[in-house]
Amino acid sequence: MKVGLFVPCYIDQFYPNVAKASLKILERSGFDVEFPLDQSCCGQPMVNSGFVKEGEKVSNHFKNVFKDFDYVVGPSGSCVHHLIHHAGIGENEEEPKVFELFTFLSEHSDVPVMTKSFPHKVGFHFSCHALRGLRLGSSSELVEEPHSIVKPFLDAIPDIEWVPLENVDECCGFGGTFSVFESDVSVDMGRRRLEDHQSHGAEYIISMDSSCLMHLEGVSRKQKDGIKFLHLAELIEKVM
């Protein structure tokens, strides 16, 4: 099994520790992982802004870079959703299958053994793309059995307290270019998302998407409320 690690551009530029943590988790789980140096953006920002042809060029570059891998794994529900559902990567049997990191781990390995304690109250934020796009958890607007791809991972961490939320699957307000063109609405959504976590005593907010964390952390710093933020990969790597 040949696994290629896909690192979204905003993680590469702003959150390199998320990429390092993802690599360590995959390797400790027994996978042979490579990081192609020629990889670039998945093309989502361009497509979201209406530049579809330009985005297709970037997606085609992605296909070429990862063509010799069996699987492509990335720590981002947002980018992985774009690659699967908009760029159509993986539809051709000759192309590698693209997975969000924890979906890949869930389907191809056991939940890692967590040996270190994390005695903190944790609020979990599901990004919209991971939740409603990739269907990695149950959403409140649908009548369905509750499920969550991340719950087994969090439940395996010693001494962690996963706090309840009033609105478990509300958007943080980031939405990529939405946060630029509708900044007032975006910030207000971020504040409301933070208030839900704060009201339940969350010390940390964890997510599978650094883009959501970047937005929420920016609002949090402005408010000086002291909440800490971690990508789920960073948390799991800390306690493995």
Backbone angles phi, psi at 64, to 5 degrees: -65, -40
Q: What is the pLDDT at residue 92?
A: 87
Q: What is the pLDDT at residue 49?
A: 85
Q: Are residues 164 and 93 in the same domain?
A: no
Q: Report DSSP state, residue 83.
A: I
Strand pairing of 161-162 and 97-100?
Answer: unpaired
Q: What is the pLDDT at residue 22?
A: 98
Q: Are residues 224 and 151 in the same domain?
A: yes
Q: How many secondary structure helices (H) and strands (E) does the chain include?
A: 12, 8
Q: Are residues 187 and 220 in the same domain?
A: yes
**Neighbouring C-beta atoms of residue 23, cutoff 10 Å:** 20
Residue 218 lies in a domain: yes
Distance CA 118, CA 121 (A): 9
Residue 210's domain comprises 121-239
Q: What is the pLDDT at residue 102?
A: 97
Q: What is the pLDDT at residue 59?
A: 92
User: Per residue of the chain (240 residues), what is the pLDDT tens digit?
Assistant: 899 999 999 999 999 999 999 999 999 999 999 999 999 999 998 898 889 999 999 999 999 999 999 999 999 999 999 999 999 999 888 899 999 999 999 999 999 989 999 999 999 999 999 999 999 999 989 888 989 999 999 999 999 999 999 998 999 999 888 888 899 999 999 999 999 999 999 999 999 999 999 999 999 999 999 999 999 999 999 999
Residue 116 lies in a domain: no
Q: Are residues 140 and 77 in the same domain?
A: no
User: What's the domain count of the chain?
Assistant: 2
168: domain CATH number is: 3.40.50
Q: Are residues 82 and 16 in the same domain?
A: yes
pTM of the shown model? 0.94
Q: Are residues 150 and 103 in the same domain?
A: no
Q: What is the pLDDT at residue 183?
A: 93
**Neighbouring C-beta atoms of residue 90, cutoff 10 Å:** 17
Q: Are residues 7 and 95 in the same domain?
A: yes
Q: Are residues 104 and 204 in the same domain?
A: no
Q: Are residues 96 and 7 in the same domain?
A: yes
Q: What is the pLDDT at residue 83?
A: 95
Residues in the chain: 240
Residue 113 lies in a domain: no
